[in-house]
A and B are shown apart, each in its own frame.
Chain A
Amino acid sequence: MFGVHLLFDGVNTMTDLLRLLFNSLETGSVYALAALGIVLIFRTSRTTNFAQGMIGTFNAYIAAFLMLRYGFNIWLVALVALITAFLTGIIIDTFIIRPAAKVSPISKQIITLGIIMVIIGILPWFFGVDSMTLPRFIPTAYSITILGADLRYNTIFVIAVSTILMGAMFWFIQYTKWGLATRVTASDETTSKLMGVPTKTVTMVSWATAAMLGTLAALFVAPRISVFSNMLLTVQISAFFAGTLGGFSTFFGPVVGAFIISFARNFTQFYISDIWGNVLVYTSILVFLYFKPYGIFGKKPTKKV
Chain B
Amino acid sequence: MKILNQVENFFGIISKKIGKHPIVPFILFGLVIASIGFLPHTGLMRWGTMGVFAYIVIFTVVAMGLNLLLGFSGLISLGTAGFVGAGALGLGVFINLGFPFELAALMVLIIAGSMGALIGLFSLKVEGIYLAIATLFVGEILRQIYTQLEIFGGQAIRIGAIRFFGFIELSMINQFQRSILFLLITTMMVMMMIIMHNIVKSKTGRALMAMSRSQHAAQAMGISLLKYRLTAFVLATLFATFGGIMYGLYYQNVPTTAWTLDLSLFVIAMVVVGGMKSIYGTFLGVFIIHGIPNLWLKNYFGDISYIFSGILIILVIIFYPYGFVYIWYDLKRLYIKHKLRWMKKQVIKDE
**Residues of A that sit less than 8 Å from B by CB:** 42, 48, 50, 96, 99-100, 102-104, 106-107, 109-111, 113-122, 124-125, 129, 233, 237, 240-241, 243-244, 248, 275-276, 278-279, 282-283, 285-286, 289-290, 293-295, 298, 305
Of A106, A120, A124, A289, the contact of B268 (CB 8 Å cutoff): A106
| B303 and A106 contact, CB distance less than 8 A | no
| A237 and B268 contact, CB distance less than 8 A | no
Mind listing 23 A-B residue pairs with CB under 8 Å? A48-B132, A103-B318, A104-B321, A110-B269, A111-B314, A111-B317, A114-B313, A114-B314, A115-B314, A118-B314, A121-B303, A124-B304, A233-B261, A237-B136, A241-B133, A243-B129, A279-B145, A289-B125, A289-B130, A290-B122, A290-B126, A293-B127, A298-B130
| B265 and A50 contact, CB distance less than 8 A | yes
B137, B273, B304: residue with the most chain A Cβ atoms closer than 10 Å: B137
CB B211 to nearest CB in A, in angstroms, measures 14
Q: Please give 7 more A-B residue pairs, beta carbons under 8 A apart, in addition to A103-B318, A122-B307, A282-B137.
A: A110-B317, A113-B313, A117-B306, A237-B136, A278-B144, A289-B130, A290-B126
State the CA gap A295–B269 with chains docked (Å).
28
Q: Which 6 A-B pairs have the closest CB atoms?
A: A117-B310, A121-B306, A121-B307, A118-B310, A114-B313, A114-B314
CB B137 to nearest CB in A, in angstroms, measures 5
B309 interfacial by beta-carbon distance below 8 Å = yes
State the CA gap A118–B269 with chains docked (Å).
14
| A121 and B130 contact, CB distance less than 8 A | no
B29 interfacial by beta-carbon distance below 8 Å = no
Docked complex: B305-326 residues within 8 A CB-CB of A: 305-314, 317-318, 321
The residue in chain A whose Cβ has the minimal distance to the Cβ of B261 is A237
Of B130, B217, B313, the contact of A111 (CB 8 Å cutoff): B313
B70 interfacial by beta-carbon distance below 8 Å = yes
B141 interfacial by beta-carbon distance below 8 Å = yes
Task: Write out, one digit per residue, whether chain B residues 110-136 have a CB within 8 A of any chain A CB (1) or not (0).
Answer: 000000000000100111011011101
| A102 and B321 contact, CB distance less than 8 A | yes
B228 interfacial by beta-carbon distance below 8 Å = no
Which chain A residues border B311 with CB–CB below 8 Å?
Answer: 114, 118
SS of B interface (majority) = helix
| A279 and B129 contact, CB distance less than 8 A | no
Given A103-B317, A275-B148, A290-B122, also A110-B310 (CB < 8 A): no
| B303 and A107 contact, CB distance less than 8 A | no
| A120 and B145 contact, CB distance less than 8 A | no
CB B277 to nearest CB in A, in angstroms, measures 13
B76 interfacial by beta-carbon distance below 8 Å = yes
Which chain B residues border A109 with CB–CB below 8 Å?
Answer: 265, 268
State the CA gap A290–B130 with chains docked (Å).
10
Docked complex: B231-269 residues within 8 A CB-CB of A: 261, 265-266, 268-269
Which chain A residues border B304 with CB–CB below 8 Å?
Answer: 121, 124-125
Of B126, B273, B305, the contact of A293 (CB 8 Å cutoff): B126
Which chain A residues border B134 with CB–CB below 8 Å?
Answer: 244, 286, 289
Which chain A residues border B138 with CB–CB below 8 Å?
Answer: 286
Which chain B residues border A285 with CB–CB below 8 Å?
Answer: 137
Given A107-B317, A237-B136, A278-B144, also A121-B305 (CB < 8 A): yes
Q: How large is the interface on B (under 10, 10 to 19, 20 to 34, 35 or more residues)?
A: 35 or more
The residue in chain B whose Cβ has the minimal distance to the Cβ of A245 is B133
State the CA gap A119–B272 with chains docked (Å).
21
Which chain A residues border B217 with CB–CB below 8 Å?
Answer: 305
B339 interfacial by beta-carbon distance below 8 Å = no
| A244 and B307 contact, CB distance less than 8 A | no
Given A109-B268, A118-B306, A240-B136, also A96-B129 (CB < 8 A): no
State the CA gap A295–B313 with chains docked (Å).
32
Of B137, B307, B313, the contact of A241 (CB 8 Å cutoff): B137
B216 interfacial by beta-carbon distance below 8 Å = yes
| A110 and B265 contact, CB distance less than 8 A | yes
State the CA gap A36–B303 with chains docked (Å).
32
Given A122-B307, A244-B134, also A282-B261 (CB < 8 A): no
| A237 and B140 contact, CB distance less than 8 A | yes
CB A301 to nearest CB in B, in angstroms, measures 8
| A294 and B130 contact, CB distance less than 8 A | yes
| A48 and B129 contact, CB distance less than 8 A | yes
The residue in chain A whose Cβ has the minimal distance to the Cβ of B303 is A124
CB A55 to nearest CB in B, in angstroms, measures 13
The residue in chain B whose Cβ has the minimal distance to the Cβ of A247 is B130
State the CA gap A305–B219 with chains docked (Å).
12
Docked complex: B41-76 residues within 8 A CB-CB of A: 70, 76
| A283 and B314 contact, CB distance less than 8 A | no
Which chain A residues border B140 with CB–CB below 8 Å?
Answer: 237, 278, 282
State the CA gap A124–B301 with chains docked (Å).
12
State the CA gap A110–B269 with chains docked (Å).
6
Which chain B residues border A103 with CB–CB below 8 Å?
Answer: 317-318, 321
| B136 and A100 contact, CB distance less than 8 A | no
State the CA gap A111–B137 with chains docked (Å).
22
| B303 and A113 contact, CB distance less than 8 A | no
| A110 and B313 contact, CB distance less than 8 A | yes
| A113 and B266 contact, CB distance less than 8 A | yes
The residue in chain B whose Cβ has the minimal distance to the Cβ of A112 is B265
The residue in chain A whose Cβ has the minimal distance to the Cβ of B214 is A305
| A107 and B272 contact, CB distance less than 8 A | yes
CB B300 to nearest CB in A, in angstroms, measures 13
State the CA gap A244–B136 with chains docked (Å).
11
The residue in chain A whose Cβ has the minimal distance to the Cβ of B266 is A113
Which chain B residues border A298 with CB–CB below 8 Å?
Answer: 130
State the CA gap A107–B130 with chains docked (Å).
17
CB B81 to nearest CB in A, in angstroms, measures 13
B130, B308, B321: residue with the most chain A Cβ atoms closer than 10 Å: B130
The residue in chain A whose Cβ has the minimal distance to the Cβ of B133 is A244
State the CA gap A120–B304 with chains docked (Å).
8
Which chain A residues border B145 with CB–CB below 8 Å?
Answer: 279
State the CA gap A106–B130 with chains docked (Å).
13
B122, B134, B310: residue with the most chain A Cβ atoms closer than 10 Å: B310
